């Protein structure tokens, strides 16, 4: 495995691979890797001739400076984990290497088609501008055959699919199922910020979502929406920021179970001061 910190070096290595007409699998991450990331990395390794993983805490997608400063970082440990699963190249640039001064100072603009106006977009203004900025730049740099994203970040995956279509990237976006602990807690880099007691408490998020599936079609969408929020908030130490029941393709809220054949419940919950996201397919 090679650990690369300069874009020019990565391009040179990949140019050689492309001359051999080799497929390239790519996984963009912000580091602090857990088994969920490694599951995606294994797919990239197994399904392509060359696998590339970026490890870069992207400053332009954080609207909260404290959140950026406290985001866990350990590039050496991440590189070790990726080496063990067979990843070929790890790209870990600094912000000054990756972005120009102009890119850092000016807001990146993109036509999201409304996908940024709901859920995370309402509570983290500018977040998805930064996501599209960094991922589009990485796609141009890596020019992958396939790129892998987890379905835990459900809204982000929908936005990346739109970005690929609008910008005309020639690659396959591979959505991968949420990886969970035995307890049901969705794996997340932010879990490292939880105390042991909070980790146990946070398992109630998925437990409530899973139970709510039993009532799909038996109660109205609004009743299920309200009861899910109430059930999560019932646990002292958990507070729902939002819960939306949406069309899995458009991310628009649904009002009836027969509005679409693909319905997903998406939630963000504060466990103490740690912000956790999760989702579940309801239909």
Looking at the annotation, which residues are catalytic?
37
Give the count of beta carbons closer than 10 Å to the beta carbon of residue 151.
Answer: 17
Residue 105 CA neighbour count, 13 Å, CB half: 3
Alpha-helix residue ranges (DSSP H) falling in the chain: 7-19, 35-46, 65-70, 75-84, 95-98, 101-105, 120-123, 127-142, 154-167, 196-212, 221-233
**120-126 own/partner pairs: CB under 8 Å, 24+ apart:** 120/155, 120/156, 120/268, 120/277, 121/155, 122/242, 123/241, 123/242, 123/268, 124/63, 124/64, 125/63, 126/61, 126/63
Q: How far is CA 117 from CA 113, 221, 240, 250, in A?
A: 9, 21, 19, 11
3 - beta bridge partners? 90
């Amino acid at each position: 495995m090679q650990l690369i910190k300069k874009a020019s070096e990565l391009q040179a290595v990949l140019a050689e691979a492309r001359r051999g007409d080799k497929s390239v699998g790519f996984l963009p991450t912000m580091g602090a890797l857990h088994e969920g990331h490694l599951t995606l990395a294994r797919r990239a390794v197994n399904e392509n001739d060359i696998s590339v993983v970026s490890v870069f805490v992207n400053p332009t997608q954080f609207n909260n400076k404290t959140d950026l400063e406290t985001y866990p970082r350990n590039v050496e440990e991440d590189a070790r984990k990726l080496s063990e699963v067979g990843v070929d190249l790890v790209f870990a640039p600094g912000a000054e290497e990756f972005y120009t001064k102009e890119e850092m100072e000016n807001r990146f603009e993109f036509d999201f088609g409304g996908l940024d106006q709901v859920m995370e977009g309402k509570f983290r203004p500018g977040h998805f501008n930064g996501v599209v900025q960094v991922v589009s730049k990485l796609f141009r740099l890596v020019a992958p055959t396939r790129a892998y994203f987890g379905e835990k970040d459900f809204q982000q995956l929908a936005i990346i699919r739109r970005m690929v279509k609008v910008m005309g990237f020639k690659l396959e976006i591979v959505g991968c199922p949420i990886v969970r602990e035995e307890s049901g807690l969705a794996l997340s880099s932010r879990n490292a910020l939880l105390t042991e007691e909070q980790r146990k408490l946070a398992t109630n998020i998925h437990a409530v979502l899973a139970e709510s599936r039993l009532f799909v079609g038996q109660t109205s969408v609004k009743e299920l929406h309200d009861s899910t929020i109430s059930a999560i908030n019932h646990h002292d130490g958990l507070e729902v920021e939002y819960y939306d029941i949406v069309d899995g393709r458009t991310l628009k809220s649904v009002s009836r179970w027969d509005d679409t054949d693909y319905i997903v419940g998406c939630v963000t919950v504060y466990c103490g001061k740690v912000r956790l996201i999760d989702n579940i397919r309801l239909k």
